[in-house]
C-alpha cells in the first residue's frame, strides 16, 4: 500500500502542537483524534486493488468457463452386425468432421449447448442425419446404422442378329448386369431407355440380371438404337436407390455367309467348313458349331476363331449310322466382338453317307 505524504506531514504537525498544550485529558483526546485522522487518510489515499482469483469470476486470471458438451456414437451397417470404418461424420454449419476407424466410433467435444445436426456419409451407403440435443457438461450418445446400397459390379448392353433365312431375321437387345447387395434386401430393377421406362422387374435377388428386348419394345427400328442410353436403376427394401452409368449399343454385326457344305451336300465324315471373308475394321472372334438334325444335338465345335479366318476342318469323325443310312447335320458361324455384340449365320445342312 502507498499513502499520501502530504497527509502524514499534516498529521505530525498537528500532534506536535497538541503536545505543547496544557492538560493531560486534552492531550489524550487530541492524540486519539490524530490517530483516527491518519487512519482515514490511509484508507482514502491508498492505491489498492483487491485480488480476483475466483475461477467463476470472468475477470479473474483463474477463470474457468463452464465445460461444453460432447456428441459421440458408433456407425454400423443396417443389421448392426459390423462397425463401419471410413464414414465421414460432419456437423454443419461449422464443417467439423470426423472419419471413423475400424471401431466405427465418432466424437465431437466442445459442442455448445443446444441442438446440432450430425450427418454421416460413406461411399455405396445411403446417407443419414439426425438432430442431436447437447447439454453443457454432458456426453450425448447417438448411433447410426447405414443402408448399404445395391452396387452394379458390371453392366453391358449388346445387340444380337440371327440370320434365319429363309425365315425373317431376328434382332434383339440384351441388357446384362451383375448386381451386389450385401444387405440382401434388393427389391426391384428398372430398365430405362433414352429416359423412358423400358421394363420393371420386382422381387429381384442379388447376382446376375439378364433380359432380352425385341423390336416390340421400341418405337423405332431396333437397328436405330445405336448411341442411345440404357440405364439400370436398382432399389432395395430400405429405400436405397442406385443407378448405373449409361450404356450404349456400339454396333450391329452382320452374319457370315456360309459357302460350303450347304444344301444337304454329301461330304466326308471330317468335312471342311467354309464361309466368305468380310474385311471388317474391328476385331472379332468366331465360333463354329455342328449339330445333328433333326434332334439338334451339338456334335462338334471350334471356338474363338480369329477374325479373318474363313474355314475350319471338323476334327471328330461324323460317322453315319451305317446300315445304308445317311446322317443329317447343319452348322452355323457365330461372330462376337469385344462389346458382346453377336451375329449368327443361317443354318447350312449337309449329309454324311
Written as tens digits, the pLDDT of the chain (353 aa) is 444 444 434 444 444 444 444 545 544 555 555 555 554 554 555 555 666 677 667 677 776 666 799 999 999 999 999 999 999 999 988 779 999 999 999 999 999 999 999 999 999 999 999 999 999 999 999 999 999 999 999 999 999 999 998 889 999 999 999 999 888 889 999 999 999 999 999 988 778 999 999 999 999 999 999 999 999 999 999 999 999 999 999 999 999 999 999 999 999 999 999 999 988 899 999 999 999 999 999 999 999 999 999 999 999 999 766 555 679 999 999 999 999 999 999 999 999 98
Neighbouring residues of 68: CB distance < 8 A, sequence distance ≥ 6: 109, 110, 111, 112, 113, 134, 136, 137
Residue 128, all three cell numbers: 443419414
Q: Which residues of 302-339 are buried (b: 16+ CB within 10 A; e: fewer)?
A: beebeeeeeebebeeebeeeeeeeebebbbbbbbbbeb
For residues 251 and 242, is the Cβ–Cβ distance under 8 A? no
Which numeric CATH code is attached to 258-352? 2.60.40
How much is the pLDDT for 59? 74
CB contact set of 41 (below 8 Å; sequence gap of 6+): 3, 4, 7, 8, 11
Backbone angles phi, psi at 49, to 5 degrees: -125, 125
pTM over 0.85: no
Alpha-carbon gap, residue 253 to 237, rounded angstroms: 40
Partners of residue 129 on adjacent β-strands: 119
pLDDT in tens, 235-287: 999 999 999 999 999 999 999 999 999 999 999 999 999 999 988 899 999 99
pLDDT given at position 182: 85
Q: In what order do the strands lie in the sheet with 96-99?
A: 96-99, 88-91, 114-121, 128-134
CATH code, 69-146: 2.60.40.1120
Contact 138, 155 (CB under 8 A): no
What pLDDT is recorded for position 65? Answer: 66
For residues 284 and 108, give the distance between their C-alpha atoms in angstroms, rounded to a whole number. 59
**What pLDDT does 322 receive?**
58
pLDDT at 30: 53
Residues with Cβ within 8 Å of residue 205, at least 6 apart in sequence: 186
120: its cell numbers: 454421416
CATH number for the region 151-243 comes to 2.60.40
Q: Are strands 311-313 and 284-293 parallel, antiparallel or unpaired?
A: unpaired
Amino acid at each position: 500500500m502507498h499513502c499520501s505524504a502530504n497527509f502524514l506531514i499534516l498529521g505530525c504537525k498537528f500532534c506536535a502542537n497538541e503536545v505543547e498544550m496544557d492538560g493531560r485529558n486534552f492531550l489524550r483526546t487530541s492524540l486519539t483524534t490524530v490517530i483516527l485522522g491518519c487512519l482515514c487518510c490511509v484508507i482514502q489515499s491508498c492505491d489498492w486493488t483487491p485480488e480476483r482469483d475466483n475461477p467463476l469470476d470472468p475477470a479473474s486470471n483463474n477463470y474457468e468457463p463452464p465445460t461444453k458438451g460432447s456428441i459421440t456414437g458408433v456407425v454400423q451397417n443396417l443389421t448392426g452386425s459390423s462397425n463401419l470404418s471410413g464414414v465421414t461424420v460432419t456437423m454443419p454449419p461449422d464443417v467439423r468432421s470426423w472419419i471413423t476407424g475400424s471401431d466405427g466410433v465418432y466424437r465431437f467435444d466442445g459442442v455448445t449447448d443446444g441442438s446440432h445436426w450430425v450427418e454421416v456419409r460413406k461411399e455405396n451407403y445411403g446417407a443419414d442425419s439426425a438432430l442431436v440435443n447437447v447439454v453443457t457438461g454432458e456426453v450425448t450418445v447417438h448411433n447410426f446404422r447405414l443402408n448399404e446400397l445395391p452396387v452394379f459390379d458390371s453392366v453391358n448392353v449388346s445387340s444380337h442378329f440371327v440370320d434365319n433365312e429363309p425365315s425373317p431375321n431376328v434382332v434383339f437387345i440384351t441388357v446384362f448386369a451383375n448386381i451386389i447387395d450385401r444387405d440382401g434386401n434388393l427389391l426391384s430393377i428398372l430398365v430405362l431407355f433414352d429416359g423412358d421406362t423400358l421394363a420393371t422387374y420386382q422381387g429381384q435377388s442379388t447376382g446376375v440380371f439378364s433380359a432380352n428386348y425385341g423390336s416390340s419394345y421400341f418405337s423405332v427400328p431396333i437397328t436405330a438404337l445405336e448411341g442411345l442410353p440404357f440405364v439400370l436403376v436398382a432399389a432395395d427394401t430400405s429405400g436405397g436407390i442406385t443407378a448405373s452409368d449409361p450404356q450404349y449399343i456400339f454396333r450391329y454385326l452382320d452374319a457370315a455367309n456360309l459357302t460350303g457344305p450347304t444344301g444337304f451336300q454329301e461330304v466326308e465324315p471330317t468335312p471342311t467348313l467354309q464361309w466368305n471373308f468380310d474385311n471388317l475394321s474391328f476385331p472379332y472372334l468366331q465360333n463354329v458349331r455342328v449339330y445333328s438334325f433333326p434332334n439338334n444335338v451339338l456334335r462338334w465345335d471350334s471356338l474363338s476363331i480369329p477374325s479373318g479366318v474363313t474355314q475350319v476342318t471338323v476334327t471328330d469323325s461324323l460317322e453315319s449310322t451305317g446300315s445304308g443310312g445317311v446322317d443329317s447335320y447343319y452348322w452355323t458361324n457365330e461372330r462376337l466382338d469385344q462389346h458382346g455384340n453377336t451375329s449368327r449365320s443361317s443354318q447350312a445342312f449337309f449329309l454324311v453317307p
